[in-house]
Amino acid sequence: MGSGNIDYRPDFERPTPGRRRQRGVSLIELMVSLALSMIVLLGVIDLFIAYQHQYRLQTQLAQVQESGRFVTDVLTRELRKAGYAEWQKAQTFPATSQFAQGAIVAGNGSTLRVRYYGSTDEPLQDCLGGGLESADITRATLSLNTSQGLDCAVDGTSPQPLDANVEAMALRYFVEGRWRRASGVGDWASVKGVGIELLVASRQDGLVDTASSYVFDGETVTAPDRRLYRVYATSVALRNVASPPLVTSQGDTSS
C-alpha cells in the first residue's frame, strides 16, 4: 500500500494553516517600556507635588488674609467704643492702676487697653462677643501671648485667644498733633487716635522659595524662615473725645 501524500504525524504535531509562530518580548523592548513607564510616573509625581504645594500655599494665604482682616476688625471696633457712655450718664473716667484720669485708652507698643461704659439700651458687645447689659465701665485688654497670637481679656479676667497667626503688633498714639510711641505720650487723656500695625504669618513653613522681606514698625525685616508674612496697617480716630479731625501725617515716631 503506497504512502502517497498521507501525513501520519499526530494532530498536535501537524502545522495549522494560517497560524504564525509566536515570539516573546525581547530584553531591549522590555527595558524601553520600563523606561517610558518611569518617565510617565515621574511626571505624574512631579505634577502631584506641585499641585499639593500650590494647595498648601493658597490655603495658608487665605488663613493669613482672614486673620489680618479679623484682628483689624476687632481692634477697630474696640477703639470705636472707647469712651462710650449713655447720654444720661456722666461721661467720667476715673484714674486707675492702668488708666490715667479721663483717659479712655492706654497701653504700650504691643498692648492696647480700652475702656467704655456698657449700655442697657444698645446691643453692645465686648471683644469676646459677650453682651454688655450693665451700664458699668468695661475694660478690654488686647495683647500678644507667648505663642504669637492675640488675646483679649475683659475686666481683668483670664485672657482668651482671638487669633493664632499674629506675630507682632506695633501701636502709635495720636496726641498733640503727632503720632507717638507709648513712651512719648505725656497725657493719655489727650490721645485722639491709635495707629495699628499687625504682622501676620502662616503657621506652615517652606511655602516660599526664599525668605520674605517686609517693612514693619518702620524697619525693613528679612524673615528667619520661609513662611508667608503680611503686614496690615490702619488708624482709628477715637469717636468719643472732643478733638479736631485726625490727620494722617506720621509726625515724630521716634519718641
Residues 6+ apart with CB under 8 A from 13: none
User: Following CA atoms 100, 104, 106, 109 in sequence, which dihedral angle do they give, to the nearest 10 degrees?
Assistant: -150
pLDDT for res 155: 87
DSSP for 206-222 reads: --SSS--EEEETTEEEE
List 150's β-bridge partners, or say none: 144, 163
C-alpha cell at 126: 465686648
pLDDT for res 72: 92
User: In whole angstroms, what is the distance from residue 179 CA to residue 7 CA?
Assistant: 114
User: In whole angstroms, what is the distance from residue 83 CA to residue 88 CA?
Assistant: 14
C-alpha cell at 127: 471683644
- Strands in 105-107's sheet, in edge-to-edge order, are 105-107, 111-117, 137-144, 150-154, 160-163
Q: Give me the helices (H) in the chain, please.
A: 27-81
Tell me what the pLDDT averaged over the chain comes to. 81
pLDDT for res 215: 92
Query: Which parts of the chain sit beneath pLDDT 70?
Result: 1-25, 87-91, 148, 242-255
CB 64 within 8 A of CB 165: yes
pLDDT for res 12: 54
pLDDT for res 252: 43
C-alpha cell at 138: 468695661
Amino acid (one-letter) located at 133 = E
pTM: 0.72
